[in-house]
Structure 1
Amino acid sequence: MVKSTAENLSPTRVKLDVEVPFEDLKPRLDQAYKTVANQIQVPGFRKGKVPARLIDQRVGRGYVVETAVNEGLNDYYQEALAQTETTPMARPEVEVTSMPGVDGEAEGPLKFSVEVDIRPEVELPDYKGLKVTVEPAAASEEDEQKALDELRSRFGTLKAVERPAAKDDFVTITLTATVGDEQVDHAEDLSYQVGAGTMLDGMDEALEGLSAGEDAVFETVLAGGDHSGEKATVKVILGGVKERELPEADDDFAQLASEFDTIDELKADLKEKAAEGAVTGQGIEARDKVLEELVKLVEVPVPDSVVNEQIEQHFSQQGHSEGDDHDTAEHRAEVESNAREAFRNEIILDKVADAEEVGVDQGELIEYIISTSQQYGMDPNQFAQMLDQAGQVPMIMGEVRRRKALAKVLEYAVVTDTAGNTVDLTAFVTPGGEDGATSADSADSADSADSADSADSADSAPSADSPAEAEKTPAKKAPAKKAPAKKAPAKTAAAKKAEAEAEAEGAADAEEAPAKKAPAKKAPAKTAAKTATTKAPAKTAAAKKAEAEGEEKAPAKKAPAKKAPAKTAAAKKTAEDKAADTAE
């Protein structure tokens, strides 16, 4: 039986000293001899029939022991985690300190130590009765008019005009990008709305004031393709200008754009929706401020390794490399701050969920999967299968649980508006309402993606507990989950739609420009599993000697990667079936 002890190095890091008796290692050692016997050829012996003593002479006992240790290291580590009740949060660092017959007694124990980051233990503060002040929930006439204008824009038509291009015009352009003397991209007849900011930095300024047939040259940094991050000179030629004509706001328009017969009925409905939106916005403000107040009450230590991993994940999944124009000290500091904030929020809300005995039932899980998949423009069944295959369903359940915990804190809070009126958030925190975050999050902007980048830090801990995954390729990533932080959750790269969908239908056929500007903030998908780093024991002198003599021996066996579980039938079920299986 494995013997292990734990030593706390810091509030977020622990060291495990593990000792494996020789009798526990021997079955793996015997199997290692069989494995090596099938990998080498010795005159006078059939493959697989080479005696252990000859293997020791030809290859070296140290190599065989290393093979056995690599095969069993992960299992021994798991036993040590269970014995010490340790929940890892990041990659473990493993060092083998003694191997029998190598740097220890022939039949002595295997000894190794592990350092790994863990969830910090925090004392839950008194979260009941937090006081916050929010703005009154009042929709203005400007809000109502804006809603009507947006609806009219969706039914607008594009009309060619003979004048210089201005903001909000739709133009047809030709782009040519050069880096130095090399033309790196060229595209013709692209449709674009001036001022949209969805292509290249500097292009909107270059287009404003141009007439059909005229061109302009501007400098920019390419954000995609083989030359991403490089400075380029771009020439843009304006082919034509169109402006959007809005339909008259009359009864005919009301019948075309809605289920109402008159424009007055439509305006009344838009007014009601604007009022509802104001209430939702007030609830979001209250939620964010309550969470801020809660976090102020407790100090949560944050593991640096978790933060650093989130930073690197953020930049790698946006296609940025270290040192490029996007990876600035300011941007990196912003991502780090958001990662730490999201981690603290998760830890505290998990404690609240424990205290309130918050659970997640089948219906809540289904609702979350369906609503989230719709935000990402994905089929719910496909989304559920992706989550299942990536092992992210437990993460989703944890997220729903934290949302419910935050709703509980909000329910206990004392919320008033700036006029001194008590704010009733019943509809916002009860089932069928906003549930503290779920529906409200979809109303928020997706621009604050960075705060969600690190939201997966605490949830991904169970998959980070294998020291034998150093050679493992990261599993397919699932869509990023939303952190219950004060900032709006982000959309995933796989599901994020182009902002141009909000434009008029006349520009819907716009082609993608060369070196198209990437979204400024893009939530990285959730990593399904984290790999581990293991310090491999050095080869024995005998093993090195065998190599020098040119003996044919098996290549050094790598630490085994943790095998992904076989795809279950549940992965093929509908979103409802999958949620039911998980909730049970």
Structure 2
Amino acid sequence: MVTSTVKEVSQTRRELTVNVPADAIAEAIETALVVLSQQVRVPGFRPGKVPTKLVRSRVGEQAVNDEALRQGINGWIGSALEEHDLNPVAQPSVDVKSFDSAEGAELEVVFDVLPVIELPNLEGLELDGPEWELNDEEVDQALEQLRERFAELETVDRGVQANDLVTLTIEGKYEGEVVPEASANDLVFQVPEEASDSVMDTAILGVKAGESFDFTDTLGPEFGERLAGKELQFHCDVTEVKQRNLPDLDDDFALTASEFDTIAELREDLKDDLAKNKIAMAHANRRAYVVATLTEDLEYEVPESLIDHEVRHQLNILASQAERSGLDFNQFVAMAAGGDVESLMDRVREEATATVRAQLFVDAIAREQDLSIENEDLTAEVVAQARRLNRDPEEIAKVMFAQENVGALVTDALRRKAIDFLMDAVTITNEPPAIESEEPADETPVAVDGAPEGGESEPAKEDPTPDNEGDNA
């Protein structure tokens, strides 16, 4: 009989020690021999009829043990999980401590589980609505952004300064070998206006066109498992330095940048547009805002495996965007990050954590309220996704009702239903003014739904059984 003990590593992580007796190992070996006999080809014997002794001699004892492990491991771990009423949220990590046909086996299984969330009391709950009133600082910022769009570039013969645009060739080497993924020709790099932790941002300051500089840096996770964490030596040749000259915010600028004659008229028009947009955004973000507000003061751990899954999802989106743009992924990420790739990756992980945190809360609401999904809920979800993508609902339905996407569709529909419940349960004060539109704004929760395009959902959860070379049970 398989025995097991469980250790609580953290609120969401468990360590399971599974002890498999010798008789269970013997049974798995017998099964393995049957499987291997179908694969071994011996003259004079039909597949499946090769004697076990001959199978052992042909494939070796280690291959028999490996196959026995593949045949038995899912059942052994599955029974241990059932014994302790544990449900991994992602693929467990399995370490085979020992495996012996005479003495049995010991497995160490590490995995994440859902956190226990103490849900708030919603009865009579009032929440301030999302901010919708415009302030002067936001108008000033919009004017400054418009001003930067009309900046003129001037080639300068001086050392690089903050906010300059620099054209350079960069070559990264690891242990003396050039790393193509970390090298580029004629790369246009904008130096951040504010100081950053990037080694390159600091090393490039003061360098003139025609000069070179070197630095050492460690590659981030955006470079993939093969290169992430590697320390590279970089050599850069600066070919051109340009400064950005901003126009004055005066009436001449208003004439250049708009149909208005004065800067006052331009500012007032920007103010009107910004006010309308902010009100529209407040309406569109009500659902995400309510979820974020309700979870703000709740303390619960977010499983690292789910965060990692969401990070990979977000990086896949970036990879798709890079492919559509015809750019190398690393170059695309560098451009998107404004040169500060490390900060971008930190931001991706921070956003992934917030997304998963919100999803866990909404899922807990669905369980507490015992919500279920009907066909009309799935139809409503498809229509909502089609509206978001501005696509034909029938076209979206074909994708979302495909076998591999149905699980994600059901998950999204259930989350939408849970948020509908929350919106009915709480009272929102300080609502923004009503807006006139031909269609109501889609209030899909930004932090709860999944990707901004494609299936628009979190992929179905992975099989919680361990990943081994053989087939999972």
Pairs within 5 Å for 1:562-573: none
- Separation of aligned partners in 2, 1:353 and 1:333: 30
Q: Which of 174, 179, 202 does residue 168 from structure 2 map onto?
A: 174
TM-aligned CA deviation for residue 274 of structure 1: 0.8
8 Å CA contact 1:406–1:436 kept in 2: the answer is no
Q: What amino acid sits opposite 2:465 in the alignment?
A: S
SS in 1 for 2:133: coil
Matched with 2:273 is: 273
Deviations 1:16-59 (A, max 9, x none): 98999x99x989957843642652647xx435475536448857
1:138 alignment partner, one of 121, 133, 138: 133
2:468 aligned residue (457, 466, 470): 470
Q: Which amino acid aligns with 1:362?
A: T
- Aligned partner of 2:37 in structure 1 is 36
Distance 2:313 2:70 in 1: 32
Q: Does residue 254 of structure 2 align to residue 249 of structure 1? A: yes
Q: State the match for 2:217 in structure 1.
A: 221
CA 371–223 in structure 1, closer or farther in 2 if over 3 Å, else same:
farther
Within a 5 Å distance, the mapping from 1:97-176 to structure 2 comes to 117-120=112-115, 122=117, 124-133=119-128, 137-144=132-139, 146-147=141-142, 150-151=145-146, 154=149, 156=150, 158=152, 160=154, 170=165, 173-175=167-169
Give the Cα separation in 1 of the matches to 2:48 and 2:215: 70
Q: 1:426 to 1:68 in 2, by over 3 A?
A: farther
C-alpha distance after superposition, 1:274-329 (max 9, x if no partner) = 113333565699767754653367654655x637966997999999xxxxxx999x
**How far apart in 2 are the matches of 1:153 and 1:333?**
27
Q: Which residue in 2 is equivalent to 1:480?
A: none
Contact 1:195 1:204 in 2 (8 A): yes
Question: Cα deviation per residue 1:161-190 (whole Å; 9 max; x = unaligned)?
Answer: 66767665555x334558799796886654
Please give the per-residue CA displacement for 1:334-368, whole angstroms capped at 9, x wherever unaligned.
99988776555333211223427375533434544
- Name the CA shift for 1:126/1:203 in 2 (closer, same or farther; >3 Å): same
Alignment-mate amino acid for residue 238 of structure 1: E
Number of the residue aligned with 1:46 = 45
1:346 to 315, 339, 359: 359
Aligned partner of 1:88 in structure 2 is 88
Using the alignment, how far apart are the partners of 1:436 and 1:312 within structure 2?
21
> In the superposition, relative to structure 1, how do residues 289 and 439 fare at CA in structure 2: closer, same or farther (>3 Å)?
closer
Distance 2:152 2:442 in 1: 38
5+ residue gaps, structure 1: 105-109, 256-260, 320-325, 375-379, 417-421, 445-454, 472-558, 563-584
How many angstroms does 1:435 deviate by?
1.9
2:336 paired residue number: none
Q: Is the 8 Å Cα contact of residues 356 and 405 (structure 1) preserved in structure 2?
A: no
2:364 maps to a residue whose letter is K
Alignment identity in percent?
19
Q: Paired residue for 1:560?
A: 471
One-letter amino acid matched to 2:381? E
Deviations 1:92-128 (A, max 9, x none): 4679999998669xxxxx9999775433455543134
Shift of the 82–273 alpha-carbon distance from structure 1 to 2, 3 Å rule, reads farther
3-state DSSP of counterpart to 1:70: helix
Give 3-state SS (helix, strand or coil) of 1:236's partner: strand
**What is the distance in 1 between the residues matched to 2:449 and 2:313?**
21
User: SS at the partner of 1:238?
Assistant: strand
More helix by share: 2
How much does 1:370 deviate?
Answer: 7.1
With the length of structure 2 as denominator, give the TM-score of the two structures: 0.56
Q: 1:435/1:346 Cα in 2 relative to 1: closer, same or farther (>3 Å)?
A: same
> How far apart are the structure 2 equivalents of 1:176 and 1:112?
48
Label 1:335 to 1:363 Cα distance change in 2 as closer, same or farther (>3 A): closer
**Corresponding residue pairs, total:** 418
Aligned residue runs from structure 1 range 340-489, under 5 A: 343-354=356-367, 355=369, 357=371, 359=373, 360-365=377-382, 367-368=384-385, 371=388, 391=404, 394-395=407-408, 398-399=411-412, 401-402=414-415, 405-406=418-419, 408-409=421-422, 412-416=425-429, 422-424=430-432, 432-435=440-443, 437-438=445-446, 461=461, 463-467=462-466, 469-471=467-469
Whole-angstrom CA distance in 2 between matches of 1:289 and 1:393:
27
TM-score norm. by structure 1 comes to: 0.48
One-letter identity of the residue aligned with 2:366: A
Structure-to-structure mapping, 1:308-319, within 5 angstroms: none
- Partner secondary structure for residue 254 of structure 2: coil
CA RMSD of aligned residues (A): 6.7
- Would the aligned equivalents of 2:34 and 2:48 in 1 still touch at CA under 8 Å? no
Tell me which amino acid in the other structure corresponds to 1:36.
S
- Counterpart of 2:378, as a letter, is D
Q: Which residue of 1 aligns with 2:326?
A: none
Q: CA deviation at 1:191?
A: 3.9
Check 1:295–1:4 CA distance in 2 against 1; reply closer, same or farther (3 A cut). farther
Alignment CA distance shift 1:47-1:98 (3 Å): farther
The equivalent residue for 1:70 is 70
The alignment partner of 1:361 has SS state of helix
Distance 1:83 1:174, change over 3 A: closer
Say whether the 8 Å CA contact 2:285–2:446 is kept in structure 1: no
Q: Is the 8 A contact 1:133 1:286 kept in 2?
A: no
The alpha-carbon distance between structure 1 residues 116 and 369, as it changes in their structure 2 partners (threshold 3 A), is farther
